Amino acid sequence: MQDYFNEVASELQGHLRGSEVFTCSFAAEESDFVRFNHNEIRQAGRVTQRKIAVDLIEGQRHVAGDLTLGGAMELDRPRIAALVADLRDKRAQVAEDPHLLYATEVKSSERVSPAKLPDAAAAVADIQKAGTGRDLVGIYAGGGIHAGFANSLGQRNWQTTHSFNFDWSFYKQADKAVKTAYAGFEWQPSEFARKVDWAGEQLKVLDHPAKTIEPGRYRVYLAPNALLEVIGMLSWGGFGLKAHRTKQTTLIKMIEGDARMNPSVSLIENAAKGVAPNFQQNGFLRPDHVTLIDKGSFGTCLISPRSAKEYGVATNGANAMEVPQSVEFSAGALPAADVLKQLGTGVYVNNLWYLNYSDRNACRTTGMTRFATFWVENGRIVGPLNVMRFDETIYRALGENLEALTAEREFILDAGSYYQRSTDSAHLPGALIDDFTFTL
């Protein structure tokens, strides 16, 4: 795949005229997909795809376009030529872009992770064994993901990672299910079995009558997948330089006021350990670490090249949306085995959904519980809870009311695969929170 990408870059180079410059991003995958329902394989297949995104630049004028390729240069060569010609015609019609910035200092790189994935059939066998006697619903996706960058200045960047993601539920009835996921770079049957056993224990509790609690404030445990939804919302306008300079950041009270999170909270954009490539579409390298929240205080913005040009600062290789792609949340000291005991009486939340801001300036988020949410009494799960809506600020939930973070963290891969498998990832603990507000 890397050799083919280099051929594509050479082909693009041959079509340049005069002072033209090109940048080219390459995305490819070789993925196995298996869909399950009622613990039976309903759909299985293997996808191999390659795509380029080319920006044809002359001075401050540029036009970008993309193309899906077949992998055979004798067929792809005329299609590449046609793309370049089309971009050149369109560029003549556009105005200069004052915020255009691309890498001109050549910094090539290569990162290839070892392939430690099982044969898909072996993973499927473990999955179907786990689903025996249960209604298992889910999708397994695994294989190699490739990313490349090239420009006409001679820069070449390449990354290959091999990962898997099994996103599944044990379904009971109506809206009652236990949803979980197992993702990583090496399939470990013992770790998968641990997740299956815990999901199975929760599935048994769903047989108990569902409980409805009154709106109010409760002790809550947010499992890593639930905490991820909160961090995902925080990332929507929280960390980008553009949002900060225009004062649209949801963390405005941290920047201009005295609001802080709990000192145990640190958030890092960890490109060194993520699945997303450590370079971006304009050719800038992403540093191994960018500290977003440092012990409860705001750290560093994510700065895209366009924002860097607009505001006269250096870029740190952020994507155009200036959102984290490889989030790492600090671990705490609470053993996961002690979560129920420390929760005492309160709400155990596995998943959240439909999150949105109810007050952006206050960083207040609202959303719903989903799937297996449980009522806990005296450190014991006694039954499922009916769906609840929460409304809470980040400064309370991850600030003054945060009691503990788990020592163990979970690696979570985004299960999205609409155009291609997502490379967004997170490494998160669970969070024990007091006085958490449910509104209905």
Segment 255-276 mean pLDDT: 96
Structure tokens at 330: 């600090």
Residues 275 and 418 in one domain: yes
Compute CA distances 283 → 154, 303, 322, whole Å. 11, 14, 15
Q: Are residues 195 and 314 in the same domain?
A: no
Cα 267 to chain center, whole Å? 14
Q: List Cβ neighbours of 166 (8 Å cut-off, separation of 6 or more).
A: 123, 127, 138, 139, 140, 141, 181, 182, 183, 192
Residue 226 and residue 189 share a domain? no
Task: Categorize the per-residue pLDDT at 175 as very low, low, confident or very high, splitting at 50, 70 and 90.
Answer: confident
Domain with 86, as residue range(s), is 2-205
Q: Write the CB contacts of 183 (distance below 8 Å, at least 6 apart in sequence).
A: 163, 164, 165, 166, 411, 412, 413, 425
Q: Is 277 helix (H, G, I), strand (E, B) or coil?
A: coil
pLDDT above 90 covers a percentage of the chain that reads 96
Q: Which residue has the tokens 């609001």?
A: 259
- The rounded distance, in Å, linking the Cα atoms of 428 and 421 is 21
The last residue of one of the domains, among 205, 228, 247, is 205
Choose between 127 and 371: higher pLDDT.
127
Same domain, 236 and 156: no
SS3 91: helix
Are 245 and 189 within one domain? no
Q: Which residues are paired to 136 by β-bridges?
A: 170
Residue at 8 is within a domain: yes
104-152 per-position pLDDT tens digit: 999 999 999 999 998 889 999 999 999 999 999 999 999 999 999 999 9
Closest CA to 69 of 148, 141, 151, 160: 148
Q: What is the CATH number of the domain that holds 168?
A: 3.30.2290.10
3-state per-residue secondary structure call for 417-434: CCCCCCCCEEEECCEEEE
Q: What is the pLDDT of residue 120?
A: 87
pLDDT-derived band of residue 383, with 50, 70 and 90 as boundaries?
very high
Residue 210 lies in a domain: no
pLDDT digits (tens, 9 = 90+) for 69-90: 999 999 999 999 999 999 999 9
Q: What domain count does the chain have?
A: 2
Residue 370 has pLDDT above 90, yes or no: no
Beta strands in 306-359 (DSSP E): 326-329, 346-359
Which amino acid type is present at position 60? Answer: Q
- Whether 185 and 234 map to the same domain: the answer is no
| Whether residue 17 is found in the same domain as residue 73 | yes
Domain boundary among 177, 205, 233: 205
Kindly state whether residue 275 falls inside one of the protein's structural domains: yes
Taking the CA atoms of 87, 92, 98 and 102 in sequence, report the sign of the dihedral they define. positive
Residues 10 and 131 in one domain: yes
Three-state SS for 255? helix
Read off the tokens for 28.
Answer: 């490819």
- Residue 64: pLDDT band by 50, 70, 90 thresholds? very high
pTM of the model: 0.94
Q: Stretch 301-317: mean pLDDT, rounded?
A: 97
Strands in 133-251 per DSSP E: 135-151, 156-173, 176-184, 216-222
The Cβ of residue 15 has, within 10 Å, a number of other Cβ atoms equal to 18
172 with 280, same domain? no
Report pLDDT for 176.
Answer: 86
